[in-house]
Structure 1
């Protein structure tokens, strides 16, 4: 429904209650301030459920109405309107942020950013401008058509801005660093509705690279891009039964990770999951080796794993665009769908796999699924990207705090949210799994990738325990967002 038809039909649609009338009146008032292509959807609109649907139903935000912006100025006007009416707001690209802190935002305005999804490559071919609502697949495809690429997340359906504001791991980070390491400048709407350009000369630049969700709504990104000099990729995949846990993760440590010296063209990626076609009772381990600039993964990498006797194995080749498909993260695959599941994530960053802890993790996960079959869609994810580009950036130079990490681990509890008791059981299992992994790491402080955070870990776990980091973030927050308008996603304080 256009904003103009909303004006004409609002009384008929929402006259049932005084609250509905208030919502309608506010939506109509805001619509009058927006560009002709902007749209406003209320709860009784046929599109409202689809535009506010989220990947995870657990602790989801609640919206009085949704604004589908068409211009940067629409974002600014919506923020100003919300401030004038003391109404909370939350910028959303594709609704994949699952952190429980967003659930504190109720009866607010969703600022739906998907209309800002442009790609424009600079004349020199070294940078590109991306709309703040663009998704990873749109970035990949838009650049690929011009023989270019840049760092994005591995999920087609996740945005560029969302992960990037929290650092942003990706398949090309060994070459080029995190998503945020490739930022050249950002346009954002700050808490007072001002449109601001932030680059290396702005004091917010440091914070936007790792804690950026706290400081504004990104309307556009200028990022470094690169020639596709190594377009080809190959994969080798294996499914192992649970008896192979120790041998598998010993091999990953010794043959691939190599004390943090994994080859720049190699990625290892695995997860515990149920697959009744292989084992109807216990989880299996799905394991991938991905190699850049190859049509077949080198045997020196695959041979140690083939020797373990996998239940199944496969291999193939393609190009960079196929990586998400191979690992199950493409736009039309299950991990990208909004299927009405609750998703609770328990991330922890590591240096190396503690093999006895991997056994304990597997056994605990297995027992949890067997005692509560409703959690059977859950997975435990292990991401082993190459790290040279991440390590090359000085740790103090950005708000992203965990550059020394080699592995990103995340138990993900997935279930149909039907009872509070099931959510409590899921939380207990996820918490237990993370505690096993963290305790075995020997790290004194929990290190949590903020984009995967559950939401109860706290600022030191998200942004680093060093006091100087916490002090710097709080100082910037008090200056640029003193009322906490942007405190629904992993708040600094």
Structure 2
């Protein structure tokens, strides 16, 4: 079963290979799975060959771009991984047309650094070792969302290898239905080997950094951050508000605010003056090169730990539930050994909502993404059950504070889904139906056309139309 297909030109890694452990390693170690084969592809034709191989031997398939999924979507037990990260990870910038040609296995760091050399940028991930493909296909929020919308709003074209092995260009005129579907519905329709993204003029430095507030200041920090959101964010700003445990080990929670201003330090300090006036105990904010802004949070999100995510939507910062969250975080940390972060991501919505829901697969609404992010170092696989249980408790608190979005529809941002999907569970579609709302029926038709046999099921799978 590990026979190398004759036409395959990449690297064919099986469990007996000396670099097998490296080949299945992921950002989150709890997302690693023991594949029968890891195929490091060199071309779209290689991808088609591996898909044919998987079908021939009835092997489940996973796609690895940046390897950042916490659900195991980029890994597969006893199956075949199509890995784009080794040979399809480069970026070519056309500064005249303001376009970036991006390999399906590239990470955002490569894009940011290549584009800014020409004074250009696009909407990329706020953690720059995230893969381009995973973030983009699920929507894509970033610090430039206020000016340029979602990452999918900047997609000009993609090269897609479908379940049947066809290699298709998808854009507004060629295979337009597929182009519509991949903008928000993840990897449900194929493997993207190249993205073409629109670039925009970008100043070379921006103002950004972290502010920290101890327990006595947390209510005021929350209320002040909430005022920025309620007033309507400027297109040049973004705020991330996180409740977490003090990394210094004091045993107390902290409020951490990551602030971004697409301008000078003088402008940024003036704009965010109410937050500085509260007297944070930590202020790392300064003017930095643009290509560094998406790396500031990397130190807290290193490779090789356990990670779990759960997404929620909220229409505001929920100042009134902060105390309940603060009370629970120390208990989770001390009694269960889990470091939980409750993160509210505030990006300007005007540009995002200027695109109608009918234009892409992604559903848009006036709301912020809330991320429950757990990290832990215990390698006991049973620990995940305790993490899920704790996430449910925290989610309940956030959900109770949300008075606009019905709980039945509050599935959260699709890229923050952490439950593993197996071939046995892929056909239910309940969460996907809530996620894609009014677009789900159209997506079912597309699934029937491009992937009727559910070859691609590892991320918010869509059930093909009957």
Same fold by TM-score greater than 0.5: yes
Say which SS state the counterpart of residue 212 (structure 1) adopts.
Answer: coil
Q: Who is 1:375 aligned against? A: 338
Whole-angstrom distance in 2 between the partners of 1:364 and 1:56: 24
Q: Who is 1:395 aligned against? A: 357
Q: 1:204 to 1:305 in 2, by over 3 A?
A: same
Q: Which has the greater radius of gyration?
A: 1
Contact 1:207 1:473 in 2 (8 A): yes
Where does 1:380-459 land on structure 2 (aligned, <5 Å)?
A: 380-405=342-367, 407-442=368-403, 443-444=405-406, 445-455=409-419, 459=429
Q: Who is 2:80 aligned against? A: 109
Deviates more, 1:266-275 or 1:157-166: 266-275
Q: What is the deviation of 1:46? A: 1.8
Deviates more, 1:173-182 or 1:422-431: 422-431
Q: Who is 1:268 aligned against? A: 239
Say which SS state the counterpart of residue 219 (structure 2) adopts.
Answer: helix
Instruction: Say which of 345, 353, 368 aligns to 2:309.
Output: 345
Where does 1:67-466 land on structure 2 (aligned, <5 Å)?
A: 67-99=39-71, 105-114=76-85, 115-122=87-94, 124-201=96-173, 202-228=176-202, 230-254=203-227, 256-259=228-231, 261-277=232-248, 280-326=250-296, 328-329=297-298, 333-335=299-301, 337-339=302-304, 341-372=305-336, 374-376=337-339, 378-405=340-367, 407-442=368-403, 443-444=405-406, 445-455=409-419, 459=429, 461-462=431-432, 464=434
Segments of structure 1 that go 5 or more residues without pairing to the other structure are 1-21
Whole-angstrom distance in 1 between the partners of 2:295 and 2:90: 23
Whole-angstrom distance in 1 between the partners of 2:331 and 2:289: 39
TM-score, normalised to structure 1, is 0.86
Q: Residues 195-215 of structure 1: CA distance to partner in whole angstroms, max 9, x if unpaired?
A: 011112321222111103111
Q: What is the deviation of 1:87? A: 1.6
Whole-angstrom distance in 2 between the partners of 1:462 and 1:357: 28
Q: What is the deviation of 1:94? A: 2.5
Whole-angstrom distance in 2 between the partners of 1:257 and 1:485: 41
Q: What is the deviation of 1:246? A: 1.9
Q: 1:463 to 1:132 in 2, by over 3 A?
A: farther
Segments of structure 2 that go 5 or more residues without pairing to the other structure are 422-427
Q: What is the deviation of 1:299? A: 4.0
Q: 1:250 to 1:424 in 2, by over 3 A?
A: same
Whole-angstrom distance in 2 between the partners of 1:258 and 1:455: 32
Contact 1:348 1:448 in 2 (8 A): yes
Whole-angstrom distance in 2 between the partners of 1:208 and 1:325: 27
Contact 2:352 2:364 in 1 (8 A): no
Q: Who is 2:37 aligned against? A: 65
- Matched positions, count: 451
Q: Who is 1:8 aligned against? A: none
Q: What is the deviation of 1:128? A: 2.4
Contact 2:66 2:106 in 1 (8 A): no
Whole-angstrom distance in 1 between the partners of 2:125 and 2:69: 13
Q: 1:196 to 1:234 in 2, by over 3 A?
A: same
Q: Residues 263-311 of structure 1: CA distance to partner in whole angstroms, max 9, x if unpaired?
A: 111111232333353x611121221221112133544433322332322
Say which SS state the counterpart of residue 381 (structure 1) adopts.
Answer: strand
Whole-angstrom distance in 2 between the partners of 1:72 and 1:452: 28
In the TM superposition, structure 1's runs of 4+ consecutive aligned residues that sit over 4 Å from their partners are: 100-103, 456-467
